[in-house]
Amino acid sequence: MLVGIIPIIVGIISLIQNFSLLIIGLIIILFFLSFVCAGLLRGNLLCKFCQQRKIGCPVEQLFSKKNR
């Protein structure tokens, strides 16, 4: 999660110092790749076939639909 959040925060700070459409575009692309794509992959592909969840994966427990 921090891998996506830290560059976004740095990008926002850089955007405040120097306004640029390029920085805005990169922040939007990074946000999309970090959160939307990762969530889709985790829900539809990765966690479904991962063997780690059988022995107690904290990510699977956090995002499991069973717990909601």
Is 80 exceeded by the pLDDT of residue 41?
no
14-35 pLDDT tens trace:
889 988 899 899 989 988 888 7
Is 80 exceeded by the pLDDT of residue 8?
yes
Is 80 exceeded by the pLDDT of residue 46?
no
Q: Which helix (H) or strand (E) covers residue 3, if one does?
A: helix 2-17
More confident residue, 67 or 46: 46
Q: What is the pTM of this model?
A: 0.59
